[in-house]
Amino acid sequence: MARLVMKFGGTSVADLDRIRNVARHVKREVDAGHEVAVVVSAMAGQTNTLVGYCRDAAPLHDAREYDAVVASGEQVTSGLLAIALQEMGVNARSWQGWQIPIRTDESHGAARIREIDGAVLIERLKQGQVAVVAGFQGLAPDNRISTLGRGGSDTSAVAIAAAIQADRCDIYTDVDGVYTTDPRIVPKARRLDRIAFEEMLEMASLGAKVLQVRSVEMAMVHGVRTFVRSSFDDPDAPQTGKDGLPPGTLICDEDELVEQQVVTGIAFAKDEAQISIRNVADKPGVAASVFGPLSDANINVDMIVQNISPDGKTTDITFTVPESEYDRALKVLEDRREAIGFAALEGARDVVKVSVIGIGMRSHAGVAAQCFRGLAEKGINIRAITTSEIKISVLIDSAYTELAVRTLHSLYGLDG
């Protein structure tokens, strides 16, 4: 017997038929003798509708009231799933974030979880009751409902799994696992049976949309084994496959990986923009004068390249920001043109970041050279490069996205 957390996203609970299908998945685990807590998102599209209501009511609305409105989507889903389970003869009860409670910080609309007391949930699970928890929401220090930001139900599920010492957190979604890259771009992409926390964190932060980045961070910190699988699989199908697990991808500690490939996957992010500052004086403090104001404006800077002119007196600085922050970043810099002292400010939106990821890169030389050579042979120019122990990221023109991803996927032997 195991203690499981099962999380179902918006597409998995999009209507009553799908909620009943989710209930069948839950009943299967209960019938197998497991203790089960379930975390649910709002029905697909519901959160967007609620956000729209807030914006229509007032463009500049109170963040606390925004949370009160948008958190209601998960409350509806949790109640409906509990009813569906009760109809199937399963002892189930819905829980809202404040009832557990899931305590967060005061950042309404994008709160972070501070603590969860899992004692009451554990007691209910031991009594054989299924806890159906509304994801995405918690209780702020002002005793008002808070929400965790878009995609926050994944974080709720992992946090609850840690709080109740679950054996595993199963994330049910509309895909059947984590792939070496987007199968829509590379039909030969294959599903990974296992992936290390660090690799999944890089893939999630660099463009893979399977899991929210914060949920992976939390799983890694607390050692929560996380299993990504499809909610659209037949709930009555055999549940034992490779390693005794059903079809899907286990995200786990590096020690659990049987074999480590040099490269695990290729990720890409289209929501990037490039900014170049030309002819800045090459002197101490110039970088701080550029990136300080951007930091003060809460604009995240990623890839940075600095070129020094032949005379050593001026420099060009190129970096990337989220595409959604491009216009704001340009304005912040333009407003400080005199203080920074640059000659020209240039930018581009038609760029994409492609990343090669794998913990095996730590012990293998030549991975970066292989990447650069492979792209060059396809005539793909690299605008910027960043690296870490387990990843190489290159910034290229967006027109070459699919070609670059397919080239690198084949180059590192990932084609299925």
- Across the beta sheet with 130-134, the strand order is 92-95, 130-134, 35-40, 3-8, 168-173, 226-230, 249-252, 194-196
47 is in an annotated binding site: yes
Q: Where are the alpha helices (DSSP H) in 58-116?
A: 63-70, 72-87
209 is in an annotated binding site: yes
74 is in an annotated binding site: yes
If you count them, how many residues does the chain have?
416
Q: At how many degrees (to 10) do helices 286-296 and 326-335 cross?
A: 130
87 is in an annotated binding site: no
9 is in an annotated binding site: yes
181 is in an annotated binding site: no
Number of Cβ within 10 Å of residue 360's Cβ equals 17
Is residue 319 classed as helix, strand or coil in its secondary structure? strand
CA pseudo-torsion sign 99, 217, 227, 267: positive
Enter the DSSP assignment of 181: S
- Strand partners of residue 132: 38, 94
174 is in an annotated binding site: yes
301 is in an annotated binding site: no
Cα Rg of the chain, angstroms: 24
Tokens 């007196």 belong to: 313
184 is in an annotated binding site: yes
Binding-site annotation, residues for substrate: 47, 74
Binding-site annotation, residues: 7-10, 47, 74, 173-174, 179, 184, 209-210
Binding-site annotation, residues for ATP: 7-10, 173-174, 179, 184, 209-210
